[in-house]
Every structure is written in structure tokens, then in C-alpha cells.
Amino acid sequence: MTIKRTITTNKHINILFKGSVYILVCIIIILTTAQSSYSKSTIVVIPKATLPHYWKIVCTGAHTAIQNTSSELIWRGPRTENKIGAQVHLMDFYIKKKVDAIVIAPSHKFKINESIDKAVHAGIKVVVIDSQTSTKTIHSFIGTDNFKAGALGAKIIVGKIKKKGPVLLMGHVPGSASIENRVDGFIEEIHKIAPGLSIIRADLIEGAAGEARLVAETIIKNTPSIAGIFAVNETTAEGVLHALDKIDITIPFVGFDYSQKLLKGIKDGRIDALITQTPYAIGYMGVKTALNLIKGKKVPAIMESPVKVLTLENIDSAQSLRCLQKLSEELKDKCPMCFN
């Protein structure tokens, strides 16, 4: 038998044992080296876009979470939303790089699924923020309950309407789970609390700021009977605000998210309310969750981020506005893509 031939003396056993350990150590070193293209644990955050103010705040929260850790954070994304092809390319690129975790805000609810599944199969931790996907392989989701947020928008706008006429629902590009849930929540709540109120729904094709301004201006100019407006995100809200300023007309208007332009719109009396998310917390918790997953800790499958309503009455004291003060020059240096 092989055992009888190899186990001859204690010295021989010792040599074999040392040799086995050496081989095992070599194998571990090779496997460890192959595990990642980076020398330390790396987390990649892929937002929907880098230009909108909302995503700059998410970026700030993400970088805060990585401070005082040995991990590296990479922030990469398309400049504008609705660039799902760019997100798929980034996912595939960092899967090949064998990063430790990916935090992604998908621009489409199912077109990114294959890349997410591939990442999870490769052993990469995947945390989804802001917009859910239809795949069940992700490790955790962090974001707003957008259906409830859309319903809240309906309640506010119905309370502000002063004349008979349709409500303009300024949607974005179809496909984003967060946007579609807001739209569905808004429409369902309108039918429930104001069943006779008609809705004009406008969706965008590209999702760019210029397109939002043009669509909003065209509809408002050609539909003087509009009794109220609800815009589903920062881009569309700024588009409506631009149109109202250009036409010089005031219509009950509720927007979503916030920026310096939108806050000024509240102070100028153009915007009645803004439903705001907590982008700083979403970015922070997204990366924090990824760090915990890398350490082998259990994390919640879903973490809901609350919304707040900004109006002229509370705008100066709203705690959520403290996020604006976090955009220091130091943080801008950390997120150069966001501030170009």
C-alpha cells in the first residue's frame, strides 16, 4: 500500500509534512492573489448619474462611510441618468477586476439583472440602493418606499389645487423602478381621493435636463387648464420650474428631491412643496452595508429610507438641508466626476 511505503520513519513523515504545508501555503497565496486585482478590499459605487445634485449627496455619504477603514472606494457612473448600457459596462468591468463589493443604483429594473447575478456568482457582494431590481440575488436594498412617496405627492397636490382642470404628472424615462413606483403611487392615490381628476402624464425619452425643460414648457403653454403639477425627480422638477419661470405663471406644484434651484423655487413661491429623500444616508448605508458584508456580518434584506416634505414654512430649519453643507472642497476633490 502507498501508506506503508511513505510512512517509513518519523524523519520522512516530518519532511512530507513540511512539504505539504509549503504546497498548501503556496496554493493559499495563489488563490488570495487571484481573488482581487486590488491590494485591499475595494467597494465600487455605481450611481444612476453623477451630475444631479441628489447623486452628489449620495457620493458624499458613501465617502464618509469609507473613512477610517482600510478599504478603498471607487465612484464611477454615467454623467446623466438612463444610461443603462454604461452601468452594464461598469458592472462587467469591475466583475473582471474581482472587486469585493458593488453598490449600484440601477437605471432599469431588469436590464442590469444579468450583470448583478454574474457578480454575485463570482463572490462579489452586491448592495442595491435607490431603485430596486427584479433579481432576487442581491444581498441588500436601501432606498425610499417610492410608492408611498408618490401617494404623498398626490395628497399634497390635491390639497393645493384651486381650480378645475387636469394635473400634469411629469414622469421620467420608463424603466426605473423608483420612478415607476412613484408614478404608480401618485396615480392610485389620485383615483382614490379625487376620482374625477384627470391626469396628463408626460414621460421623457432621454431623461436629460434640456428635454425636461422643453417638454414641461410645451405642455404648460398649450394646456392653460392645468390645475396642478407633480414632478417625479430632481431633473423633471427643475424642468417644470424653468418652464414656470419662463412663462411667468404660478401653478400649484409639488416636486421631488431638492437642489439649490429647487430650494430657491420654494422661496420664490413657484414650488409649494418638495418631497425629499435622504441621499446622504442612502450613500452612507449602502457602503456601510457593503463593508459589513465583506466582514461576513448579517445585514437586513431591505432598509427603508424615510422622506421629508420641504415647504416655505420649514425650509430654513429642515435638517435634511444639512447635507448641502457637507459639499466641502475636500469632498469635491474626492468626487471629481460629480463636480465637473
> Is 182 found in the same domain as 272?
yes
User: Which pLDDT tens digit goes with each residue over 177-191?
Assistant: 899 999 999 999 999
> What is the mean predicted confidence (pLDDT) over 122-132?
96
Cell of 51: 451630475
Which residue range(s) make up the domain with 90?
42-144+280-305+322-339
Q: Which residues pair with 200 in a beta bridge?
A: 168
Task: Identify whether 154 is part of a domain.
Answer: yes
Mean pLDDT, rounded, of the chain: 85
Q: Is the whole-model pTM more than 0.75?
A: yes
Helix (H, G, I), strand (E, B) or coil at 267: helix
Q: Residue 24 pLDDT > 60, yes or no?
A: no
Task: Identify whether 160 is part of a domain.
Answer: yes
Q: Residue 336 pLDDT > 70, yes or no?
A: no
Give me the percent of the chain exceeding a pLDDT of 70: 82
Per-residue pLDDT at 302:
94
Cell of 109: 429594473
Helix (H, G, I), strand (E, B) or coil at 206: coil
Per-residue pLDDT at 193:
97
User: Which pLDDT tens digit goes with each residue over 7-19?
Assistant: 333 443 343 334 4
> Is 300 found in the same domain as 198?
no
Residues with Cβ within 8 Å of residue 127, at least 6 apart in sequence: 101, 102, 103, 104, 138, 139, 140, 141, 142, 286, 289, 290, 293
Report the range of poorest mean pLDDT among 53-62, 145-154, 231-240. 53-62
Per-residue pLDDT at 319:
58
Task: Identify whether 19 is part of a domain.
Answer: no
The CA-CA-CA angle for residues 49, 324, 235, to 5°, reads 35
The helix (run of H) or strand (run of E) holding residue 257 is none
How far is 53 from 71, CA to CA, in rounded Å?
Answer: 26
Please give the radius of gyration of the chain, using alpha carbons only, rounded to the nearest integer.
Answer: 25
Task: Identify whether 217 is part of a domain.
Answer: yes
Query: For residue 170, what pLDDT band results from cuts at 50, 70 and 90?
Result: very high
Task: Identify whether 226 is part of a domain.
Answer: yes
User: Which pLDDT tens digit goes with each residue over 26-45?
Assistant: 333 333 434 455 558 999 99
Select from 129, 177, 92 the least CA-distant residue to 288.
Answer: 129
Cell of 165: 382642470
**Spacing of C-alpha 23 from chain mean position:** 45
Query: For residue 331, what pLDDT band results from cuts at 50, 70 and 90?
Result: very low
Task: Identify whether 64 is part of a domain.
Answer: yes
Q: Which CATH number is 327's domain given?
A: 3.40.50.2300
> What is the mean predicted confidence (pLDDT) over 118-126?
98
**Spacing of C-alpha 7 from chain mean position:** 61
Strands 273-276 and 308-310: antiparallel
> Is 284 found in the same domain as 136?
yes
**Contact at 8 Å (CB) between 131 and 48?**
yes
Q: How many domains does the chain have?
A: 2
> Is 130 found in the same domain as 152?
no
Give me the percent of the chain exceeding a pLDDT of 90: 71
Cell of 110: 431588469
Per-residue pLDDT at 111:
94
Per-residue pLDDT at 4:
35
Per-residue pLDDT at 37:
52
C-alpha distances out from residue 137 to 42, 119, 140, 182, 304, Å: 20, 10, 9, 24, 19
> Is 295 found in the same domain as 199?
no
Per-residue pLDDT at 40:
82
> Is 200 found in the same domain as 132?
no
User: Which pLDDT tens digit goes with each residue over 65-97?
Assistant: 999 999 999 999 998 888 999 999 999 999 999
